[in-house]
Structure 1
Amino acid sequence: MADLTQQEWASQLDKDENAVILDVRTEEEVNEGYIPGAINLDIHQGQDFIDALKELDSEKHYYVYCRSGGRSGQACSIMNQLGIANTYNLMGGFSNWDGASTK
């Protein structure tokens, strides 16, 4: 797992042809806005969240975010434990995001 600043995260994401954006916030939070193209898997869903992670392609590169960076960091750690090596946590999360978003 790598903790990336917003600039690093966005720059690396733009160049990564193997990238998947993963939003680990709740449905209510997602309804307030999200980064375009993000897949939502709510980390609060417990075993359902783990099961969904196990279905992901471990060869992809996952750019993970939540509201402030804490839950996404946890998600990256869990993904690493499940054999998904390339995970990138957005430090500061969506609350600090000033890139493209959808509301």
Structure 2
Amino acid sequence: MADLTQEEWAEQLKNDDNGVIIDVRTDAEFEEGHIPDAKQIDIYNGAEFLKQAKELDPEKNYYVYCRSGGRSAQACMLLNSVGVTNAYNLKGGITEWEGEIVE
């Protein structure tokens, strides 16, 4: 797992043809606004989160975010534990995101 600043995360994602964005917030938070093309997997739904995490392609690079960076850091560690080696946490979360947001 790597903690990336907003700038590092956005730049790395932009240049990554193998990147997938994962939003680990709740359904309600996701509906309030999310980063374009994000796949939502709610970390608070523990068993379902782990089930979906195990189904992810371990060859891809995952860019993970939440509201402020705490849940996504935890999610990155869980992804690592199920064999996903490239998980990148967005420090500061969507709260500090200056890029596009879909509402």
By the TM > 0.5 criterion, same fold?
Answer: yes
2:64 is aligned to: 64
2:5 equivalent to 1:5 = yes
Three-state SS of the structure 2 residue aligned to 1:43 is coil
SS at match of 2:101: coil
Q: Counterparts of 1:1-103 in structure 2 under 5 Å? A: 1-103=1-103
Q: Structure 1: how far apart are the matches of 2:62 and 2:10?
A: 12
Q: Secondary structure at the match of 2:52?
A: helix
Aligned pairs, how many? 103
In percent, how many aligned pairs have the same letter? Answer: 57
Q: What CA deviation, in whole Å up to 9, does each residue of 1:54-90 have, x standing for no partner?
A: 0000000000000000000000000001110000000
Matched to 1:64, the amino acid is: V
Q: Which runs of 5+ in 2 are unaligned?
A: none
Structure 1 length normalisation: TM-score? 0.99
Structure 1 residue 39 displacement after superposition = 0.1
Partner Cα separation in structure 1 for residue 49 and residue 87 of structure 2 = 16
**Aligned CA-pair RMSD:** 0.4
